[in-house]
Amino acid sequence: MQQKQGLGKALAERLVSKGAKVILGDIDRNDGLRLASELNHGKGNEVAFFVPCDVTKYDQQAALFDAAFKHFGGVDIIVNNAGIAESTPLWEDDKGIWKKVIDIDLSAVIEGTRLGIQALKKQGREGVIINTASLAGLYPQARTPAYSAAKFGVIGFTRSFKDFDSSIRINAVAPSFAPTKIIESMRENVAKIELVSVEMVTDAFMLLIEDDSCSGDVARITPKYGINVLGKATGGDKDKKKKAKL
């Protein structure tokens, strides 16, 4: 799980509260170690392990899976959650920040999904992969075109797995902006936008993880309409068997 301040932390806490064990990956070593320590506090056995990870370096992504096998015996749930957004208008971006946005927000998600499928097939057991997209991947954002392009890519990529494999489900969350670290670089763009809560986005993650009718699906999260799996009735089928057992 590539941990992003806010969404990644909240999801890790929710998963651990349900009995899961988590591998945390983050480029910020101090934040990652702190969260792992918090999650392990008071537990009889280790439930969280941190691995420093720059998601643009694919060997470091692979190290997350190696750690999962070593510490917890494998993986059932993979979450590709790292992300950044541009803060400079495209025509003024002489440093090529837009390329970094694509590398982190799209290319790394594709690689994380590839590695996730590889790991699940190697294990021979069912699992689920969740990619973090954005409402900006459903509705173009004029002020952050590279970010929007990357998130459109994540949604198209995820939907391409609709009929992939009945034992491996791949879904995406597409939240409106939430009060997380990523909006610090977009403060001017989101100043007048109503934010969704981190808790609601976490609920959407859990819906896509636990509802095995969701495959190649996208959960849109907005302040007005809440959680809506596009093309499905809200809430899913709670009586269905859960593929990702926690």
Which are the catalytic amino acids? Answer: 147
In angstroms, rounded to a whole number, what is the distance separating the alpha carbons of residues 210 and 78?
A: 13
In angstroms, rounded to a whole number, what is the distance separating the alpha carbons of residues 105 and 154?
A: 8
Q: Torsion-angle region of residue 97: left (phi > 0), alpha (psi -120 to 50) or beta? A: alpha
Q: Are 138 and 148 in contact (CB under 8 A)?
A: no
Alpha helices (H) along the chain: 7-17, 29-40, 58-72, 97-102, 108-123, 145-159, 187-190, 198-210
Q: Are 87 and 186 in contact (CB under 8 A)?
A: yes
Cα first-last separation, the chain? 15
